[in-house]
Chains A and B, each alone.
Chain A
């Protein structure tokens, strides 16, 4: 079983839709959590860190549920430019080992 798991999608949604992704992790001692965005044939770039209290950045909201060991990303009012692969990443306990999920592909159609 992978340490960090995501639904690969693709999620195919119309512009303006709200879409949510989940990411589960297996190590209960994990301490840091992130969402990255990756465009085709490019390097991943940080979208947002995920804090215990949840955090929001414009149309994007990230949540952490430690009890159920998952993080989520909510995108409101989807834009065509949101089409990309979204990767979650988890830092395991105190080892600085940063593990990624396999990514969820989002396609936003006109």
Chain B
């Protein structure tokens, strides 16, 4: 039972580098989410996708892009990483407005 799988689990980037965080779910969920979590800030929604083919901005979308590749996969791209994007990134999925299930997170450090 894989659930929600995120890759990579850890990453160190230099300022200005780009990278894509991958997320895949095998629960046939239609909605997927990307969050970042910083100390004391809780989870902040970056982008979400209510269904395959749609994406919408969340609370903190600046500096990020997303792609809902198919129903299973939702990727998050940092085009030019900045130290302020050092964070833990969580992907989640749900059936509509039911509870969301999370991946184990990606710990990203931008130096």
A residues within 8 Å of B by Cβ?
Answer: 3, 6, 8, 31-32, 34, 42-46, 49, 87, 89, 91, 95-103
Contact = CB atoms under 8 A, between A and B. Distances in A.
Interface in B83-106: 90, 92, 94, 96-105
Contacts of A43: 90, 102-105
Listed from nearest, the 3 A-B pairs whose CB atoms lie closest are: A102-B42, A43-B102, A100-B43
A31 B43 contact: no
Interface of B: 31, 33, 35, 40-45, 48, 50, 56, 58-59, 90, 92, 94, 96-105
B58 A97 contact: yes
B97 A91 contact: yes
A2 to B, nearest CB: 9
B40 A102 contact: yes
Contact of A102 (B41, B103, B104): B41
B111 to A, nearest CB: 20
B41 to A, nearest CB: 6
Contacts of A8: 40
6 contacts: A34-B99, A44-B90, A97-B56, A98-B45, A101-B42, A103-B42
Contact of A44 (B31, B43, B59, B94): B43
Contacts of B45: 97-100
B102 A44 contact: yes
